[in-house]
Structure 1
Amino acid sequence: MPKRFPLKLLGLSIGLACSFAQAQQATSNDDEQIKNIERIVTLGSRVNGRTATESAAPVDIISGEQLLATGATELGKALQMTAPSFNFSATTVSDGSDIIRPATLRGLGPDQVLVLVNGKRRHQQALVNVQETIGKGSAGYDINAIPMTAVERVEILREGAAAQYGSDAIAGVINITLKNGDGGLLSAETGQTYEGDGEVVKLGLNIGKSFSRGYINATLEYRDRGMTNRAAPASLEATGGELIGNWLDENGDPVVRLHLGDADSENYYAWFNAGYQLTDATELYSFGGISRRDGKSAGFFRGTGHPRTIEALYPNGFLPQLETTTDDDSIALGIRGDLPNAWLWDASVVYGRNNFGFNSSNSANVSWYYEPDGNGGIYAETPTSAFDGELVFEQTTFNLDFSGTIDIGKELLYVATGIEYRRDGYTINPGDPVSWSYGRTNDPDIVITTPYDTVAEPGIQGFPGFSPEQAVDETRDSYGIYIDAEYYLTTDWLLTGALRYEDYDIAGDNISGKLSTRYDINEQFSLRATASTGFRAPGVQQMYYSQVLTNIVDGTLVQTGTVANNSEIAAQFGIDQLEEETSQSLSVGLVTRFDSGFDLTIDAYQINIDDRIVISEPLTADIGPVFADILAENNLGAVQFFTNSVDTKTRGVDIIGSYPTPFAGGELALTAALSFIDTEVEQINSVSSLIPADAIFNDTQVMRLEKGQPGEKATLSANWDKQQWHVNLAFNYFGEVSGKAFTGIEHTWGSKWITDVSLGYDVTDNFTLMVGANNLFDEYPDKWGDAGIPFSQAGFEYGWETFPFGINGGYYYLRADYRF
């Protein structure tokens, strides 16, 4: 049982279950209603036609209509509001992570869950989370690169499945199924926060058409989300108005200096899903799309009277802006068909590419401005904007799969087997010289001083660019083979197993196994259990990423180098190349189902991960004299590495109940979904004789892994439909979180209930209007207070490090849907 299991939520879940049970005893429904409730799963089993309550693994199925009913305009946020084990933390002043938010499952890392589209592996993002956010050191999936308008449903397998699906599936698997049916949807939504900012405009068009031998379904979507700002005036009483220079106005009064909240984001999508019957036994299929996102966020304010501010350009200080462009493209092409004896085959190739470009504006390179011009003066000029470089991740995956049955006696043995080849590529393209260089020549022997008798720092302010020395163009190949089998030992006892071998040309090879069982006690109750091993190969992003950034270390801005493990600098510090993570998982569950339609599942699990890949703390000269000499030799104030340094244990319980019943002349669907998670860092291993274990991964990082995400999360919802009327009411609970980044002082933000409500009306059979509010009662996280000084006095009123539900407050919207 997780340590932070709240009694009030336990009582609530038991109470809801009892209420559902009483309702099912008082209500009977016909077989047709039961049939409509059963939902076919494609995850966790390669046997066709199995429903969620028949599966040996816990699988959530969330329809596209359920996602739209949340009122969220982006897929990641909608999943957070419907799947209790899924978290989608908000970030601010965190560089690229403000645009691509970390998506996690069961409290693990963004790269420890595998994402599929139509059952095929999805490529990851190019961006590496290197700031103080959830998922620091990871490169997960850009969930929001998939338009909600194109989604038929989402399945979430809450169970380790590396033996079935390969690397990354330690926490589970998310499969996003695209629409393939006839008809269409034209949707328009607009909304804004209660504060009047964060304006959203979303337009979506989906058209599907079947013809004699196939189908095509196409989606266009546009979404524009305005910036929100919840920064408080920067009083800075504790520092006399000083942080990076003077933050007060000309009268010495506090003013707002930061942009804290959602980044500005403009999104364009064009996706498709198609199939064509070549013969009666063979189908050609293809799907994919292009997504583009233009984002704008802000850095940290630079005030007057500081070496980072050129007062001739910015007499009142300046706030650097980071403008990003994310291009995401994918295409899948496959052919599948029938073989003799009811066997099936499927051959496919999937290509995906994620490009993340950085651009700075409203900024300056101090070293360019103050560089001596050779005539006794200085150049006194610098560009105020620059292209900072770009990150590119590419992935090509080839699969050949076979599935069928073998008659071995009383029951059939279901078998699936296949091979996979994958090539991952990572590229870092450098930025403009002004974005990264020290003066125009980048010559460290030239002393460039500021009017404050300090050496001018290189690079453009806010987000220094990637230099040619950091440029990367690398690839990695991997090969895999698997076998997956299911067999009914008796009519009530299902046994499944999987075995997978994978070989990476850099990280080595691995064998993963999985054994699951399910026993039907009677028609109402079943038990299920799984034991599995898993692994995650280090991402090429983690292996090759390097950059020099300005970070806050012990309250001071310093140049921090993120050093690739295969570099000469890493070797100087005694850092080895990355190896794979390995995991061992156990789970046991209870499934109940009744003729009334009431379902309840309870699943408990434990996941042990060894050699977990993390990014170290920024390490400074305080480590020791030898360490300090190496830093000085490489002109760095601090350095951080990706390392296999942490062993963790995660325990949890998922409770999900659903019940449909007639109510007040309409149909009422009740759902209670609760997730309890507890993660412990069991051991920290230093990978270098120069660096102590407690320095390479300190208490701040440990706390983020253990308490940075909610230990308890719940969704209680009621959806009522009566003729033309549709009412949705949901209560989302986020447990407490803790952190101590930036200040070194632990602080806990308390749990919160967030209420969402919407009311829809069918104007005609095809046209529906809906009005709603998310965070109806305008809840905010607890204020940071004295534990956050000086940052809480700089404007970070609600904190900085971890925001499970954001800091925007209430949001209201109006949506119109036309179906044809």
Structure 2
Amino acid sequence: MRNKPFLTSLSLLALAGSLNSTGVLAQDEAIMEEVITTGTRIAGRTATESMAPVDVVSGDDFVNQGDTDLSNLLRNIVPSYNVNTQPLSDAATIVRPANLRGLAPDHTLVLVNGKRRHRAAVIYWLGNGVADGAQGPDISVIPAIALQQVEVLRDGASAQYGSDAIAGVMNFKLKEDSEGGALEVRYGEFFEGDGDQVTVAGNVGLPFTSNGFANLSFEIGSTDPTDRSIQRNDAAALIAGGNTAVGNPAQVWGQPQIDDDVKLFANIGLELDANKEFYAFGNYAEKEVEGGFFFRNPDTRGGVFGRGLNNVDGANETILDARGNPVPLHIDASGAVIPVADMLDGNGVLLGQLPGTRRFDRLVADLTGDNSGGCMQTGPDNSGGLDIRDAAGLADTIADPNCFVFNELFPGGFTPRFGGQVNDIAATVGVRGETDAGLRWDVSGSLGRNEVDFFIRNTVNASLGPQTPTKFDPGVYSQLEKNFNIDLSYPLAVDFLASDLNIAGGFEYREEQFEITVGDQASFEIGPLADQGFSAASNGFPGFSPLAAGEWDRANFAAYVDVETDITDIWVFGAAFRWEDFEDFGTTTNGKVSSNVRITDNFSLRGTYSTGFRAPTPGQSNAFNVSTEFDAETGDLVNNGTIPSINPVAVLRGGQPLDAEESTNFTLGAVLDFEDVTITIDYFNIELEDRITVSQNFSLTEAEVDDLVASGVTSAANLQNFRFFTNDFDTTTEGFDIVATWGVEWANSSTDFNLAYNQTETEIDSFTPGLLDDVRIRELQEGLPETRWNISANHLMGNWRFLGRVSFYDEFYDSEDDKSYGSEVLVDAEVAYTFNEKYTVTFGAQNLLDEFPDENPDGADQAGRRYSQFSPSGFNGGFYYLRLRYDL
């Protein structure tokens, strides 16, 4: 329940403590001067000395927030990083897509302790366009308490690190302490009284013999769901008409439920002798995520409750798909499309028999096997059928043992519940050292696996009739990656250079494996009632059949050379060259040059130019998927399929084997570094060619439906449309970042002020007409806010700490609503008190003023969606939290 006086008091308290943030990229000048390891292979470089912009985020910046999901924590700190709730986005609800610099999730390379992190098994079939079809890592499995710092390289780095490093690189560095630690208990909930979060986290540093450390971390928690829906108009009409079995709301829009969220991390180091060190780190994580799907109307949902859109006056032919299921269009006498909502009166009853209009008949099954049951079915000439307004006929049908309607099982319709059990495990081991001659070497191997075991319940395989289960196991996606690396570095003395010429080089072998495991029989089976118009497979998320299942591998080899030196006392120069060979599409070669020139003691210029690439994943090349989406134009649900680009049906529409994306990156920046003030300004330009995405939707012909069923897409009989992956278009993404910090000492206290500003714009330079439509183009160009900024301060006064932040999110476009939504401003605040030097009590609020995004004016017509699910700042309102911490 909201308490505005209470919130106002908190606001005044936060302002009295001077508005602050949990850090915006850097908390103070000391952070800006942190030694970095990302983007350079020379030891001792700092963030202000780097040739490319590198943001250093301390571990405390994450811990001192109310949320526990690392993706959300990064969004609050790094303005060019975007992630949202994704309440109804198929597998994207389970592993949420995140974007850096306006590009796709898999355009950012993720490292842990400098080693490549494996990607998640989830492919983002739905992601408001920008993330559609991407497959990126899941960083939410990393507990924030395990982190020493995070380095965000805002620059293309494929020549240095390989595939995916187009938008930038994020390196998560784990703690290395051999003593001490902390234990935290955290509780929070939204001002609305829901979405409870309970988390227990801990970190401990232990000696690993007398020459090493073992730093161990854990986090265990759960998150309750939220509800920010309004009742759908069709559901409200059903209730008004006397259907008491319809839920209120019939469909929930809110954050998903997360149970058994366990995160374990270990980081180990051991000095073998004076010149060699053994290291190992890894993790185990699991969680169960469950969200909702769209409401299935008990009168009109085609393939389950509804028979078809039969003409009333015989003037027009019925619109049916290849299997006799209705295409969700209503046509008036002039041929114009009428949305479903406009065909209903205030009680949810179809309007009168207007000339040329169609109406739904109930889908009635004859269970006799020979159509001898005398059930009121629509005939082959589209005559007859059980009118949805015929209550007496419905009662008679339910009472007849030879006839069946799904209203018997779900009189109020149904809303499927969809989710998955996620398991993530990884391990890296290696040995590094230095020879007497000064050659530094590092040999390592890593293994990472992410698995998502899907489930869907409160739904049906309609083609099985009354024998259908209501809970299904659709199957499993899994991603397995193996890496082997040899990295070498040698400082070569050169007389005419101001420093040694550091020459680095190395080799990498990497193997990716994507696997689809068969679901249970009922989840993909084409049952005996399919010929009568009932949809096959588990409704909402069809299971993976034996023909769709499989295991696909790809290996690649890489070699690189990297040089860096101080040419003079004021001029730093670097260059990198990388060659990679992929067994499925060949070789790629990329390079990078970079420089930093100190003009004065307090002012320097820096810039980079590089080429980059991203290889398509085995999952993108081979996965099948069927998504049930809401069509805002017609007001109906539509089954859309995604098929491999080499599927014969895709080939007929332009599909072909996927190739690598190629990029050209350019940055130019300035650094102002004074005693108490540091300011960096960086311009970036990323030209990306042959971008991989999913095509627009194509309608299916009867022959294409038969071909898809034969290729393993057993639910194709119920598909209205399909799409496929394609290297279809070129884009230019450009913008600039401003980061500023200012530290002030006064009396017995100190304040650090911070500003972080990002502006990013993406333009479509070229595309293939017919493969991308206007909506996809608008998604890519307007789906994320162009401008984001944070302004904050951190005030320390004795044992008290006051934190606050003001965040701005620019407007954005939501393709599902087909609307643009306005900008948002949020205020966060936190107050902490430490006593006995070991105990800290923290109380804070995110979105302190309980702001919500703009409401969708057509939300009741658009599946009860009150707010856009793609709101960059979330749509759940204010969130308060209490944290207790004990430092060991």
| 1:265 aligned onto 2:258 | yes
Give the structure 2 partner of residue 779 of structure 1.
851
CA distance in 1, matches of 2:157, 2:746: 40
1:422-437 matches, cutoff 5 A: 422-437=510-525
Instruction: Look up the match of 2:15.
Output: none
1:525 aligns with 2:603: yes
- Contact persistence 1:631–1:637 (CA under 8 A): no
Task: Give runs of aligned pairs for residues 752-791 of structure 1, distance below 5 A.
Answer: 752-786=824-858, 790-791=861-862
Conserved 8 A contact 1:248-1:255: no
Alpha-carbon shift at residue 560 of structure 1 (Å): 2.7
Aligned AA for 1:272? Answer: A
1:172 and 2:168 matched = yes
Q: Does 1:300 align with 2:299?
A: no
* C-alpha separation in 2, matches of 1:292 and 1:173: 25
- TM-score, normalization by structure 2: 0.81
Shift of 1:288: 0.6
Tell which deviates more after alignment, 428-437 or 565-574. 565-574
Report whether the alignment pairs 1:506 with 2:599: no
Q: Is the 8 A contact 2:84 2:872 kept in 1?
A: yes
Structure 1: distance between partners of 2:787 and 2:163: 27
User: What is residue 492 of structure 2 aligned with on the other side?
Assistant: 406
Tell me the equivalent position of 1:195.
Answer: 192
Q: What do residues 607-638 of structure 1 show as CA deviations (whole Å, max 9, x unaligned)?
A: 000000001122114xx999799779964431
The answer as to 2:43 corresponding to 1:48 is yes
Distance 1:520 1:187, change over 3 A: same
Distance 1:340 1:195, change over 3 A: same
- Identify unmatched segments of 5+ residues in structure 1: 1-18, 20-32, 370-379, 441-445, 450-454, 686-692
Moved more, 312-321 or 196-205: 312-321
CA contact (8 A) 1:247 1:254 kept: no
CA contact (8 A) 1:546 1:563 kept: yes
Q: For 1:713 and 1:97, how far apart are their aligned partners in 2?
A: 23
**1:388 counterpart residue number:** 474
Counterpart pick for 2:866 among 775, 797, 814:
797
Question: Contact 2:642–2:723 at 8 Å: present in 1 too?
Answer: yes
Matched, 1:676 2:759: yes
Q: Give the Cα separation in 1 of the matches to 2:247 and 2:691.
A: 44
Out of 661, 664, 672, the position equivalent to 1:584 is 664
Q: By how many angstroms is 1:89 displaced?
A: 2.1
Give the SS at the match of 1:468: coil
Whole-angstrom CA distance in 2 between matches of 1:601 and 1:730 = 20
The answer to whether residue 884 in structure 2 is matched with residue 816 in structure 1 is: yes
> 1:70 and 2:79 equivalent?
no
CA distance in structure 2 between the partners assigned to 1:321 and 1:89 by the alignment = 20
CA RMSD, 1 decimal: 2.3
Partner residue, 1:27: none
Q: 2:790: which partner in 1?
A: 715
Would the alpha carbon gap of residues 144 and 583 (structure 1) be closer, same or farther in structure 2, given more than 3 Å must change?
same
Answer whether contact 2:277 2:432 (CA < 8 A) is retained: yes
The separation in 1 between residues aligned to 2:452 and 2:470, in whole angstroms, is 21
Q: 1:696 is paired with a residue of what secondary structure?
A: coil
8 A Cα contact 1:103 1:143, kept in partner: no
Residue equivalent to 1:349: 445
Identify the residue that residue 285 of structure 1 maps to in structure 2: 279
Q: Which residue does the alignment assign to 2:94?
A: 99
Q: How many angstroms apart in 1 are the aligned matches of 2:111 and 2:246? A: 53
Tell me the distance in 2 between the aligned counterparts of 1:36 and 1:607. 28
Amino acid aligned to 2:481: Q
1:114-125 counterparts in 2 under 5 A?
Answer: 114-125=109-120
| 2-structure distance, mates of 1:254, 1:46 | 59
User: After the TM superposition, which residues 120-139 of structure 1 pair with which residues of structure 2 at under 5 Å, given as runs?
Assistant: 120-133=115-128, 134-139=130-135
Report the residue type matching 2:258 in the other structure: S
Amino acid at match of 1:126: A
**How far apart are 1:410 and its partner, in Å?**
3.3
What amino acid is aligned across from residue 729 of structure 1 in structure 2? Answer: G
Q: Residue 382 of structure 2 aligns with which residue?
A: none
Deviation at 1:665?
A: 2.5
**2:254–2:876 contact (8 Å) kept in structure 1:** yes
Partner SS for 1:470: coil
- Three-state SS of the structure 2 residue aligned to 1:542 is helix
Which amino acid in 2 is paired with 1:397?
N
1:223 is aligned, of 221, 224, 229, to 221
Distance 1:665 1:250, change over 3 A: same
- Please list every run of 5 or more consecutive structure 2 residues that lacks an aligned counterpart in the other structure: 1-17, 19-27, 306-405, 711-715
Q: Distance in 2 between matches of 1:247 and 1:139?
A: 44
Amino acid at match of 2:281: F
Q: 8 Å contact 1:487–1:495 — kept in the other structure? A: yes
1:569 Cα shift? 3.5
Structure 1 distance, partners of 2:416, 2:246, is: 22
Aligned CA distance change for structure 1 residues 799 and 381 (closer, same or farther; 3 Å): same
Give the Cα–Cα distance (whole angstroms) in 2 for the partners of residues 278 and 632 of structure 1.
59
- Residues 330-369 of structure 1 mapped to structure 2, 5 A cutoff: 330-369=426-465
Aligned counterpart, 2:775: 700
- 1:558-591 per-residue CA deviation (whole Å, 9 max, x = no partner) reads 4333111233443444411000000001110000
Q: 2:680 aligns with which of 577, 596, 601?
A: 601
Structure-2 separation of matches of 1:132 and 1:345: 41
Counterpart in 2 of 1:421? 509
User: 1:111 and 1:586 mapped to 2: Cα distance?
Assistant: 20
Alignment CA distance shift 1:249-1:224 (3 Å):
farther
Query: Match of 2:725, as an amino acid?
Result: F
Match of 2:698 in 1: 619
Q: Deviations over 1:706-751 (max 9, x none)?
A: 111110111111111111101101111111101333x5xx421111
Q: In structure 2, which of residues 145, 150, 174 is the aligned counterpart of residue 149 of structure 1?
A: 145
CA distance in 2, matches of 1:303, 1:247: 14
Aligned in 2, Cα 1:316/1:489: closer, same or farther, shift over 3 Å? same
Asked if structure 1 preserves the Cα contact closer than 8 Å seen for 2:649 and 2:704, the reply is no
Mapped partners of 1:250, 1:421: distance in 2: 62
Q: Is residue 152–residue 168 contact of structure 2 (8 Å, CA) maintained in 1? A: yes
Which among 726, 729, 745 is matched to residue 804 of structure 2? Answer: 729
Q: Distance in 1 between matches of 2:759 and 2:697?
A: 32
Total equivalences in the alignment: 747
Query: Relative to 1, partners in 2 of residues 1:581 and 1:253: Cα closer, same or farther, differing over 3 Å?
Result: closer
The letter for the 1-side match of 2:884 is: A
Q: Which sits farther off after the overlay, 327-336 or 655-664? A: 655-664
Q: Which amino acid aligns with 2:105?
A: P
Report the alpha carbon displacement of residue 254 of structure 1 after superposing the two structures with TM.
9.3
Letter in 1 for 2:444: S
- SS of the equivalent of 1:716 reads strand
2: CA distance between counterparts of 1:478 and 1:600?
41
Cα pair 1:326 1:355 within 8 Å, conserved? yes
Amino acid in structure 1 at the alignment position of 2:289: G
* Structure 1 residues 14-29: aligned runs within 5 Å: none
**Corresponding residue SS for 1:765:** coil
Tell me the distance in 1 between the aligned counterparts of 2:860 and 2:191.
28
Task: Give % identity.
Answer: 34
TM norm structure 1: 0.88
Residues 216/460 of structure 1: CA separation in 2 closer, same or farther (3 Å cut): same
C-alpha separation in 2, matches of 1:550 and 1:252: 23
* Helix, strand or coil at the partner of 1:514: strand
| 1:406-485 to 2 correspondences below 5 Å | 406-411=492-497, 412-439=500-527, 447-449=530-532, 455-485=533-563
Partner Cα separation in structure 1 for residue 98 and residue 36 of structure 2:
22
Change (3 A) 1:203 1:251: closer
Equivalence for 2:319: none
Query: How far apart are 1:409 and its partner, in Å?
Result: 1.4
Q: Which has the larger radius of gyration?
A: 2
